[in-house]
Amino acid sequence: MLQYLSSNIKHLLSRLREARGLFFQTLRDRVYPETFSQEINEQCRIFFPFYAIPFSLVALPYTVLDKILLPNEPLVVLLRYGMSVVVVVAILARYLWRYEARHRFIAAAMMYYLILSAGIITGLAKAHPSYFGGYCYVIVLLGALPVPLSQSIVGLILSLLVFAGLSIHLEVDFTNPSVRYGLQDLMSSIVVHACLSFGWSLARRNAYEQGRAIQEQKRLLEHQAEELIALNNEKNEMLSIVAHDLKNPITAVRGLGELIKSGYARGKQLEEVAEQIMSTGDRMLDLVKNLLAENQLEEGKMPFALRILNIAVLVEASIKEYRQIAALKGITLHYTNKATDTRVIADEQAFVQVMDNLLSNAVKYSPHGKQIFIRVVSADDAVRIEVQDEGQGISPDDMKKLFGKFARLSARPTGGEHSTGLGLSIVKKMVEAMHGSIWCESEVGKGATFIVELPSADAATA
């Protein structure tokens, strides 16, 4: 029998320790709300069991005493049973009422009921010492409730007024030593209640402010950690891609160099090998240039000389440069200018690089014998440049990463051309640095249209 009791006690203690650990973990891990009013509501929710249980049991010691000292007071019986009803209603409201701030209203309602009923019953009992002791206990107890300080003070004042009014009405003898001692205890309880209420309110606010500060620091650290992880992953990806993109051309250059060294390549073959070495070197140089440009753009170190430019002239020059390259694949470039005013605010070198990349991609990803359409049109306070091809198009998944660094898309160059995966990322940053915008409209199998909008000179100087 003793072994059975000992086992049950150990099990109970173990469960209590688990409950305590879970409770404190809840306090540590909870998210602090944005306002202190919401924090009070949250504390009322967390500590509900701790004040609901004493509220339910506070009347039990007086059940027998009520029948002896107040046998003909139905109001006392009603107030005592009302406490049980209030607890039941509070529990139902806690789980059924959908109002977000309900917990602090529940705690305030229970506080008001208990302090007012204690004042009424003590007054009806004509300040009997036994009831005075219970009244003082209730006053001290309510000082620790997680309700706003103002509500606690209002509740106490109303209760004291009710008690004083009933005592005067029932002609309580305040010269009676027991009553005088009770009043002294009451004054002490009021002081304790005031100290508890003020101290508890101050401690809660300080804890809330410290918790919010720690929470914000934690969020900031988590955000910074995520950024560092993303940057580290980006760095690893960049190193992997750069190593992969440089490995093949370096291997090719080495192999071509061995052909020259061994004397295998002679005469005309030597010229072809030299051209291949130069072409491979250009590929590696393009990658390095793009990496440097991307780094300068990210660090804000790339200079932009924004001024008024006639964009039509630059677009026509870029098209002229790419006509021969496109002709090698049987691709025809079509240009139309429907803009009323082609003057924009932009950096000339950056815009030429943007057009170079868009036209290069259009030719690169277009099959042989297709068409490319370049249009300059007017938009609201802007000039729009459109480059439309008849290539493979861009899938919805690829569209999400289209302007990302080292983007590897499902579409492939149609003539074996090389791509670093950095071009569109650089283009987007350049366009945005010129206060413009760029986007793509495409369907798989129906080609793609890249659209650049730059602020018009009239809109910028207006």
Please tell me the predicted confidence (pLDDT) of residue 1. 57
Do residues 51 and 107 lie in contact, with contact meaning Cβ atoms separated by under 8 Å? yes
Least confident stretch, 195-204, 325-334, 385-394, 404-413 = 404-413
Using pLDDT thresholds of 50, 70 and 90, give the confidence band for residue 342: confident
Using pLDDT thresholds of 50, 70 and 90, give the confidence band for residue 251: confident
Using pLDDT thresholds of 50, 70 and 90, give the confidence band for residue 335: very high
Check residues 13 and 174 and name the one with the higher pLDDT: 174
Q: How far apart, in whole angstroms, are the C-alpha atoms of residue 389 and residue 374?
A: 9
Q: How far apart, in whole angstroms, are the C-alpha atoms of residue 213 and residue 32?
A: 10
Alpha helices by DSSP H, 70-172: 74-96, 102-124, 129-142, 149-169
Most confident of 1-10, 21-30, 312-321: 312-321
Please tell me the predicted confidence (pLDDT) of residue 130. 80
DSSP state for residue 61 in the 8-state scheme: G
Average pLDDT value for residue range 254-275: 70
Q: How far apart, in whole angstroms, are the C-alpha atoms of residue 457 and residue 311?
A: 11
Using pLDDT thresholds of 50, 70 and 90, give the confidence band for residue 453: very high
Average pLDDT value for residue range 412-438: 78
* Phi then psi dihedrals of residue 310, to 5 deg: -85, 100
Please tell me the predicted confidence (pLDDT) of residue 104. 87
Q: How far apart, in whole angstroms, are the C-alpha atoms of residue 250 and residue 255?
A: 9
Cross-strand bridge partners of residue 376: 337, 385
State the chain's maximal CA–CA distance in angstroms.
Answer: 131
Average pLDDT value for residue range 135-147: 83
Q: Which two tokens stand for residue 230?
A: 């993303």
Residue 301 pLDDT > 70: no
Do residues 52 and 87 lie in contact, with contact meaning Cβ atoms separated by under 8 Å? yes
Least confident stretch, 121-135, 178-192, 308-322 = 121-135
The verdict on pTM exceeding 0.75 is no
Please tell me the predicted confidence (pLDDT) of residue 374. 93
Residue 106 pLDDT > 60: yes
Q: Which CATH class is domain 307-461?
A: alpha beta
Cross-strand bridge partners of residue 440: 450
Check residues 4 and 67 and name the one with the higher pLDDT: 67
Q: Which two tokens stand for residue 412?
A: 């492939």
Check residues 1 and 21 and name the one with the higher pLDDT: 21
> Residue for token digits 């042989």?
368
Please tell me the predicted confidence (pLDDT) of residue 376. 92
Least confident stretch, 129-133, 372-376, 414-418 = 414-418
Q: How far apart, in whole angstroms, are the C-alpha atoms of residue 450 and residue 438?
A: 7
Please tell me the predicted confidence (pLDDT) of residue 238. 64
Task: For residue 295, give the H/E element and its range.
Answer: helix 268-299
Identify how many contiguous H helices and E strands the chain contains and give both numbers.
15, 7
Residue 432 pLDDT > 70: yes
Using pLDDT thresholds of 50, 70 and 90, give the confidence band for residue 385: very high
Residue 433 pLDDT > 90: no
Q: How far apart, in whole angstroms, are the C-alpha atoms of residue 299 and residue 297?
A: 5
3-state secondary structure of 233: helix
pLDDT digits (tens, 9 = 90+) for 285-294: 766 776 666 6
Residue 375 pLDDT > 90: yes
Do residues 208 and 216 lie in contact, with contact meaning Cβ atoms separated by under 8 Å? no
Q: Taking the C-alpha atoms of 181, 184, 189 and 191 in order, what is their torsion angle to the nearest 10 degrees? A: -170
Q: How far apart, in whole angstroms, are the C-alpha atoms of residue 391 and residue 366?
A: 4
* CB-CB neighbours of 286 under 10 Å: 16
pLDDT digits (tens, 9 = 90+) for 220-236: 888 898 888 887 876 77
Q: How far apart, in whole angstroms, are the C-alpha atoms of residue 137 and residue 153?
A: 16
Beta carbons within 8 Å of 3's beta carbon, 6+ residues apart: none
Residue 410 pLDDT > 90: no
Domain boundaries, the chain: 31-222, 307-461
**The dihedral sign for the CA sequence 38, 42, 43, 48:** positive
Least confident stretch, 143-157, 249-263, 373-387 = 249-263
Q: What is the mean pLDDT of the chain?
A: 81
**The dihedral sign for the CA sequence 345, 349, 352, 357:** negative
> With left for phi above 0 and alpha for psi between -120 and 50, is residue 339 left, alpha or beta?
beta
Do residues 352 and 309 lie in contact, with contact meaning Cβ atoms separated by under 8 Å? no
Check residues 118 and 417 and name the one with the higher pLDDT: 118
Using pLDDT thresholds of 50, 70 and 90, give the confidence band for residue 3: low
Q: Taking the C-alpha atoms of 290, 292, 295 and 299 in order, what is their torsion angle to the nearest 10 degrees? A: -130
pLDDT digits (tens, 9 = 90+) for 180-210: 888 888 899 889 888 888 888 888 888 888 8
Please tell me the predicted confidence (pLDDT) of residue 21. 67
Beta carbons within 8 Å of 253's beta carbon, 6+ residues apart: 277, 280, 281
Average pLDDT value for residue range 237-246: 63
Please tell me the predicted confidence (pLDDT) of residue 371. 92
Average pLDDT value for residue range 302-327: 86
Average pLDDT value for residue range 442-456: 89
